[in-house]
Amino acid sequence: MFSLCLLVGFLTFMLLLDKPAGYNPEDIKNDKCVSQYVTNELAPYVYNNIQKGQPFDIIIPQSKTKEFISLIEWPIESEDVTISAPQAFFGDSALVMRANAETKGLNFVITIMVSGLIDETGMMHLNLDKIVIGSMNITFIAKIIAKKMYQHRAKQENYRKDTIGVAITASLLDGQPFDPVFEVRKRKVRVKQINVKKSQLKITLTPAID
């Protein structure tokens, strides 16, 4: 019995240390958290179309996912874990994000799959479809832990749900839908539809009326 437990433990450890096929981290050198694509192309395009008063589409190709990663300051460090070497790409109906997590000298590749939809009332739902460490799927237990941690912190720190960042977090970790209205250069825009394909993300937007 001891040998069997030892074998199971060893195999579990090896699965956790496994590096997923296709993991090729982006070369992020932008330490100012600025994206020329977002600032000079995407934001002006959205702003100009908002003023026309009609629904419009934005299409973000696979090649531009690095631009959004560069808006985050890397590495992300906490007391016990350092997250670095990010990668993001569009899968079948979901955004896939990967990164290296280093803790106590060990390195694990974390994979997260996120999907989203707009319901019939216009509210957005974001879902953590899958959470994998190495080759081990820990989605079920990870979502339970993340939800409990979020609810505890939200209660302690009295989060404002009208803040878009908090609304996104609450949707991902606590299953709470939110009104998908964003501000672009002091103009508000609403997300009407999301369509993720293997090579691109298509978002339908419309001007939001207060």
Mean pLDDT of the chain: 87
d(CA 131, CA 141): 9
Give bridge partners of residue 203 from the DSSP assignment.
58, 194
On the question of pLDDT at 2 being above 60, the answer is no
CA distance between the termini of the chain: 66
The domain locations on the chain are 2-207
- As separate numbers, helices (DSSP H) first and strands (DSSP E) second, the chain gives 6, 10
pLDDT for position 161: 66
Whether 32 has a pLDDT exceeding 70, the answer reads no
What is the Cα–Cα distance from 173 to 127, expressed in whole angstroms? 8
**Model confidence at 89: pLDDT above 60:** yes
Give per-residue pLDDT as tens, 6-28. Answer: 555 555 656 777 888 889 998 87
- Residue 203 contacts residue 61 (beta carbons within 8 Å): no
How far apart, in whole angstroms, are the C-alpha atoms of residue 80 and residue 132?
19
The predicted model scores a pTM of: 0.86
User: Residue 157's pLDDT is what?
Assistant: 72
Percent of the chain with pLDDT over 70: 88
Task: Look at residue 87 in the predicted model and tell me its pLDDT.
Answer: 95
Q: Which of 133, 128, 204, 138 has the alpha carbon at shortest distance from 168?
A: 128
Is residue 43 packed enough to be buried (19+ CB in 10 Å), middle (13-18) or exposed (0-12)? Answer: middle
